[in-house]
Amino acid sequence: MASTRDSHQILVASNRGPVSYSLREDGSLQARRGGGGLVSGLSAIGPDAGALWVCAALGDGDREAVRRGVGEDGVRMLDIDAAVHADAYNGIANSVLWFVHHMLYQTPVEPVFDAEFRRQWAAYEAYNRAFAEALAEGAAPGASVLVQDYHLTLVPGMLRELRPDLRIGHFSHTPWAPVEYFRMLPDDIAEQVLRGMLGADRLGFLTHRWAGAFTACCDALVGGAGDTRIGVHGLGADADFLRARSHEADVEERITALREEIGTDPDGAPRRTIVRVDRTELSKNIVRGLLAYRQLLDDEPSWRERVVHVAFAYPSRQDLAVYREYTAEVQRLAEEINEQYGTDGWTPVVLHVKDDFARSLAAYRLADVALVNPIRDGMNLVAKEVPVVSDDGCALVLSREAGAYEELGDDALTVNPYDVTGTARALHEALTLPADDRAERTKRLTAAATALPPAQWFLDQLHALEA
Ligand code: F6P
Tens of pLDDT, residue by residue over 166-195, are 999 999 999 999 999 999 999 999 999 999
| Ligand 1 atom at minimal distance to the Cα of residue 89 | 15
Ligand 1 contact via 90 beta carbon (within 6 Å): no
Residue 13 φ/ψ region, left for φ over 0, alpha for ψ in the -120 to 50 degree band, beta for the rest: beta
Q: Each residue of 48-69: pLDDT tens digit?
A: 678 999 999 999 999 999 999 9
pTM tops 0.85: yes
According to the model, what pLDDT value does residue 1 have?
34
**Rounded CA separation 85/201 (Å):** 27
Residue 228 and residue 335 share a domain? no
Taking the CA of residue 149 as reference, the ligand 1 atom at the shortest distance is 4
Which residue of 14, 16, 90, 149 sits with most ligand 1 atoms within 8 Å of its CB, as the best mutation to test the pocket?
16
Q: Is 280 in the pocket of ligand 1 (CB under 6 A)?
A: no
Q: How far is CA 118 from the centre of its chain?
A: 28
Q: Does 95 sit in the ligand 1 pocket, CB within 6 Å? A: no
Q: How many CB atoms lie within 10 A of CB 270?
A: 13
Residues 251 and 216 in one domain: no
32 within a domain of the structure (yes/no): yes
Q: Is the dihedral of CA 380, 382, 383, 388 positive or negative?
A: positive
Atom 6, ligand 1: residue with shortest CA distance: 173
Q: Is pLDDT of 36 > 80?
A: no
Specify if 3 maps to a domain: no
List, in sequence order, the alpha helices (H) in 367-411.
381-389, 405-408
What does the pLDDT read at residue 74?
93
In angstroms, the CA 239 to CA 237 distance is: 6
For residue 7, name the pLDDT band (cuts at 50, 70, 90).
low
CA dist 50 and 420 (Å) reads 50
C-alpha torsion sign, points 176, 179, 181, 184? positive
Count of domains observed in the chain: 2
How confident is the model over 75-114, as pLDDT tens digits?
999 999 999 999 999 999 999 999 999 999 999 999 999 9
Which amino acid would we find at residue 363? A
* One domain for residues 341 and 445: yes
Model pLDDT, residue 75? 95
Does some domain include residue 149? yes
In a domain, 2, yes or no: no
1 is a domain residue:
no
User: How far is the centre of ligand 1, averaged over its atoms, from the C-alpha of 394 (Å)?
Assistant: 26
Q: What would the mean pLDDT of 408-419 be, rounded to a whole number?
A: 98
Residue with the nearest Cα to atom 11 of ligand 1?
A: 316
Shared domain check, 330 and 415 = yes
Relative to beta strand 52-56, strand 10-13 is: parallel
Does residue 317 have its Cβ closer than 6 Å to ligand 1? yes
CA 359 to chain centre: 18
C-alpha 123/C-alpha 64 separation (Å) is: 22
Tell me, yes or no, whether 414 lies in a domain. yes
**Distance, CA of 50 to chain centre:** 27
* Residue closest by Cα to atom 8 of ligand 1: 36
Residue 5 confidence (pLDDT) above 50: no
- 296 shares a domain with 254: yes
Do 182 and 308 fall into the same domain?
Answer: no
**Same domain? 106 vs 199:** yes
- Does one domain contain both 282 and 319? yes
| Rounded-to-integer distance, Cα 367 and Cα 310, Å | 9
Centroid of ligand 1 to alpha carbon of 97 (angstroms): 13
Is residue 173 in contact with ligand 1, taking CB distance under 6 Å? yes
Same domain as 254, residue 193: no
3-state secondary structure of 332: helix
Question: Based on the domain organization, do 120 and 264 belong to the same domain?
Answer: no
Q: Ligand 1 pocket test: which of 173, 355, 457 has the largest number of ligand atoms within 8 Å of its C-beta?
A: 173
Does residue 439 form part of some domain?
Answer: yes
Q: Is the pLDDT of residue 372 over 90?
A: yes
For 200, counting Cβ atoms within 10 Å of its Cβ (0-12 exposed, 13-18 middle, 19+ buried), the class is buried
Q: pLDDT tens across 122-163, in order? A: 999 999 999 999 999 999 999 999 999 999 999 999 999 999
**Residue 268 domain flag:** yes
114 and 32 housed in the same domain: yes
Q: Which amino acid is at 409?
A: G
What local confidence, expressed as pLDDT, does residue 316 receive?
Answer: 93
CATH of the domain at 167: 3.40.50.2000
User: Are 397 and 412 in contact, with CB atoms under 8 Å apart?
Assistant: yes
Mean of per-residue pLDDT scores for the chain: 96
Q: How many CB atoms lie within 10 A of CB 285?
A: 28
Is the shortest distance between the CB of 16 and ligand 1 below 6 Å?
Answer: yes
What was the pLDDT predicted at 59? 93
Domain that holds residue 100: 8-235+456-466
